[in-house]
Each structure stands twice: as structure tokens, then as C-alpha cells.
Structure 1
């Protein structure tokens, strides 16, 4: 079966009803892998696909929202953001200052500003306001580290969780 959408075109579904779309999109000046997927057995509405299309078209602004969510967790010493920053500083060591995009003097803020958006996974079947509609994966040094922070946003673009991937 095929689902037609103005933005995504023909979306093929497998025998279980799963859908998948993938593209590399420029966000800022860097390529980002973007996927839209839904597992079989889940209902994907036209509104869900329209919202997903809006997310793909608004990645720059949503990237900023995700970074703001990370910044709001910096003061929580038990947060995954703080653990990520501490692990990054330990991994990078003396090379940290050279790797920062901006140097304000606040390493926590500077590390978040220097993160690279690596991947965005959008799940159009997640339609609830507190459901993780999109996952934004960030890394400080993606070529040399497995550490990543994933910020999940609702279909309204609000943070619903931040997770450290090691």
C-alpha cells in the first residue's frame, strides 16, 4: 500500500503497515540525517504527516528549541545533560577550548552551542502532547566519540525528555 503526501511524496508501507522516509537535510551549514517512520500496527494520520513535514521544514528553529531545553537542565547536577558535559570534558581533555565554536567562558553553555545535530527521527504516530514526536540527536565530536544527547520534542515542539546515549 502507498500513502501519498504533498511533502513526502509516495510513502510505501510494508505488509505490517510500517512507513519509512529518509533524507539528508541541511541544517545550518551541516548535513543531518532525517527519518520519518512509524512501526506497523500504528495509525498515522494525514495531520501527523503534515506535522512531520512542518518539522522537517523547521529544523533550524527546532534545533534551537532542543538546545534551549538542554540549557535549562545545566543547573541540575543529576541531569543527563550534566553527565554528558562532564563526560565530554573528560574525553576531550586539553583540546576542549580548540573544539568550541564559541567561547563565552561558560564551558557548559559553550559545549551545548558547539554540539552537532547528527540525526532527527520523526514519529508521526506519536500524536499526544507529551509523546516523543521527534528525537534530535546531538554529539560534540561524532567522529571520535559515542556520546550523544537525544532531546525528544512533542508534536508542538516542546521538550518531553532528554537522554544520554553512551
Structure 2
């Protein structure tokens, strides 16, 4: 979710265990999963805190752990990092890459950030507006390069910059085309 959609009245541990608890998983098994995931997202020391006491980035990590506790085959992330400050966003991008590599889960990430799409995606689909359709598809190496690496170094790669500029130019052209049509038809 764009916001964590967490249960404010619950602790971090209770939020993460919500799915397994609803599935009537034995408490001992549920707590093993919760403890492991809180370790993965770096929140083991905050398990008894209420989520409203946490920063935005920490709340996003709780939401991610809660999602993973349900053991989904596919994870859909809709602008999950958009409301975060730049430093927290970069740390969360690294976390998403590491979790993707560690879990092997398919993650579908929807973002308006070209940089984030390039950095986190193996397959990037540029959507065209009105009507929404796939305009172009890219196969990218940057997510693999970013696992366990300094993401700023990946962003300095010449192919990253070239692809970024190509996509931005494409989007700009689509917007200009739409704006031109809008003015002509008005």
C-alpha cells in the first residue's frame, strides 16, 4: 500500500502475525515466522512497540514483513516508497532488492519514479496513457547488480543513465502528444 495500512492499535509483532493468526496457525509456528521476518526487516528490537510510535520507513518495513508472513506467491507493491524521505527510500529499495533475492518471490512494483523502476525491476513496462497500454518493455540488469551493492554505484552505470534518459524522453513525448491533442480539441 502507499500507506502501510497497519493496525495502529496493535504492536509490530501483532501486525506481522495477523495473517498467520487468521489462518489459525499454531502460535509457536506463527511466532517463529514473525521473529524471522522482523530480523530480516531489522525491527526485532521494536516488536513490542505500537506501530504509531515508528517512523514512516519502519512502518513500511512492518507492512512488508506482514505481507511476507502470509507467504504469498506474488507481492504487489503500489507506490510503496513514494511517501518516504530520500534516505529512507534508498534504504527501503535495498531492502526490497535483498528480500527479492532472498525469497525468490515475484514482486510487481508500480511506481511513477523512473529511477526506482530502473533500479528495482528486471522487467520494466512503460505504460502509455489514454488509453492505458504497454508502450515499451525493457529487460534490465540493474536489480541484479544492486543486490548487496551500493545503489548509488548502480545509478552511476552508463547504461542506467542512458536507459533513464530514453524512458524520460519517451514519457515526455507521450505527455506532449496528449497535451497537444487536448489543446487542439478544446
Q: Name the TM tier (shorter chain).
A: under 0.3
**Structure with the larger helix share:** 2
TM-score by length of 1: 0.25
- Structure 1 or 2: more strand by fraction: 1
User: TM-score normalised to the size of structure 2?
Assistant: 0.23
